Structure 1
């Protein structure tokens, strides 16, 4: 028994402990679930703030990868300069995707930027990451759909190192040059499959990639009038993971992001491509047509006040996105308005036809829920048929306003009790609806849309139309075409004016550059001519100095020779003096040895000296002696003296000859100097001419290159001016439209105040 009790109590204790453990485990799981739920709520709240704050797109890659062009494609406009550059800073441009704010950051090409890796990381952190903290941030790694090079691989590694692992899940690969793949009939998947490194890279980023054809940007922008299809698909891929989370569901339930992302994004928008709707509001003054329009559109577009008189005096239209579709509402002046002339009312009704062409999908005939049907109310259907056509009631719905005043009574009972109202509802195919304009209840609008859709299906689909609406559409199209032509003409004129001003400015700059170049050329020519003259003078001076030194040396040599000859002549004169002193002595000796023969021999040897000696001998014979001996002595003496005279005469002839030779030599030297100078000048001229020709050829080449550069710059400037002018003029036209709309609303307000 004891053992049984012990065993029993032990089992009970074990069961109690197990039950206690289970309870404690459940508590721990519950606490863990609560903490997880709290953490998830904080994460969802953070994601919700990111989604509603906007989308930040950061473009990263090497120079020439197509970052700027991709930014332009995303924004749908020429926001970034696409020419190849080595910019050293981040450029940011803003736009929107529907109503979702989008900021695009264009970064420098990381392959050739003159910054260190630390400086790049600091720039990315300061100018991008800190700013991106206020919203959803996506990094697009831009790579050309071309050969994946070693430079591409290094650039990717550098970007991954800068961003870090924390941002890898927010990074997508954006391939550019999709047109090249299309031309080669190749898909991006096949291109990735054929490149092993790209295949590995795409797998690393979990197949987060997209392909852009930036050449399609302008064409798709013009055709669709909004984001291009490739941008929609990219944003679909980026935003879908966020919208699939709890935060995304809450945002959609709260209708915060639904209003921001465009309805035509596809899967992201959570709505199908619903057709647009055009609705025309008709009724008496003061029944609440403008309030109905504001309720349908979900925003205040029309002036609405409580009054029995018509607030709307001019037909106006407003447009908005309602439940995923574009809805346009046309508000008209009230029937039977005593403050409007009939022709004014008819003109505004005609305006409603014009602005709702090619035809409305629905006419809403508005009545106050407590309207007492008088003769005027009974005339409304006939008036509507008269103005819009016999089939108009097939596209009409009776809309009662101020449904809150029914006070529990059904509208069906109200219709049943009023024969005229019941008849009108029957004419409209039994279609009616009730609005409470005081309550912001979107279900009443969605119910109305369903009734309109059902009515359109009953009528075979499509909108109401007749010849009048068709003509209105033609006139409206013509007006729109004329307006576009005028806008294009204005844009073209503005562009031509800007281009003309740009060309004139560039022409003036080029002329100024040419004048400056001509002045520099003239100055250069003057400088070169001065240099040439200085060179000629220098050569001339050096040549003259060299030749004169040579002449001086020759003169010194000749003077030395003459001095030696003179010394010899001086020695001869000394001999003559000696001989005159001892001539009698030598005359006697001459007589002894036969001076006559000697004298004759001397005379015969010296020619002219013999004649002179004979004369002298005769003179001596007459003076000194009349004897034969005197004659002989005279002959000897005359022969000697005649020989000396003949030698002196011959020396004088030689000296004159040397003088003539010296003069001729000086002339030859002068001639040689002149020839030397002329040759040097000719060489200098030829050298300068060759240098000038080479310089002119170089200048012409530089001038041609400068002209090509200026022409390229001119064309780029003209292109930039054209694009900027088009963008500015279109913005001005859009701003003018908005100002005209505001001005028109103010005029309507003033007219209303005047009439009231």
Structure 2
């Protein structure tokens, strides 16, 4: 039932909701509004919020995905984060979905979810001028604005927003109590990174998606990407995701956070996340990449693999655990396994090797002696199975996997 409430005062900072199917244009529009190059990306369908001094931008789930298992929860999450309602909705149509029937279908779906008056706060974002011209009559039919991601986008966002009038959810399909209760829960997950750069996104929310994350951290040249590919090999050949880009180099090969989903091999969905060297001088926009990593690297929802090269602890790796904890905002040593690559070079027991290197021993001690070796040139999976079974609370996190007695069952 629509409640008779006065709209909140028109704010100096506008809240904009990006709607539509997951696609690069949706990310590009969000990044353009925030004046950030890599704040949003299409690696997943998470609900993410970015903020600068002028805008709060909410990148929503794909509400049009008919295969989504929990659409109501995704909608409530969005309503909770944007409560009492955004100033502007942007329905982003990617180049493959600009046919009139598809645009009309998505507008109608939004009206069904949020109420017919959503169109008074809605801009349909199109990929090119030709699409805008061919669909111009929709302005009169639905009373919506049509726009594109041109150089005047930031200015246009304020022009499109109804003056002194934020959108108010009508709670036709969802109760206000459920939304406000969910908002309180999500507030506990709010993240404020240390950067105060007014030109970049400075806040991030992310809602849980019940996918366990394996996050690889470490410096350039240690073998993070190759280790990620070794983990991906646990999946069956038919369902195995494409490998991470991996090659020997003294400069970063991995320049952005890169995620792969595994539906088989663990008994539950798992996301493997490769990351750049956050401390490398040649990494562009490290603050945005740290914010992206933070989405996946959250207490209780991940394991961190701190990748080092066997026989080598560089000056930059001394104190790396503390640097990463400061950067990511929690005591991740409690969920970290030290992974030593180039296991084929090991000429003594792992315990003796660790004890003979004080810098390495210090890192391993802080991670409660969780340390494994990997030979990323090996085609077998036994070493990776051994690594996975050293994940803290392994039995509780992977109960189906824990019951399997042989490594071959991992490939079922």
TM-score by length of 1: 0.23
TM-score by length of 2: 0.42
Query: Larger % of helix: which?
Result: 1
**Higher relative contact order (CA closer than 8 Å, sequence separation 6+):** 2
**Greater Rg by CA:** 1
Query: Larger % of strand: which?
Result: 2
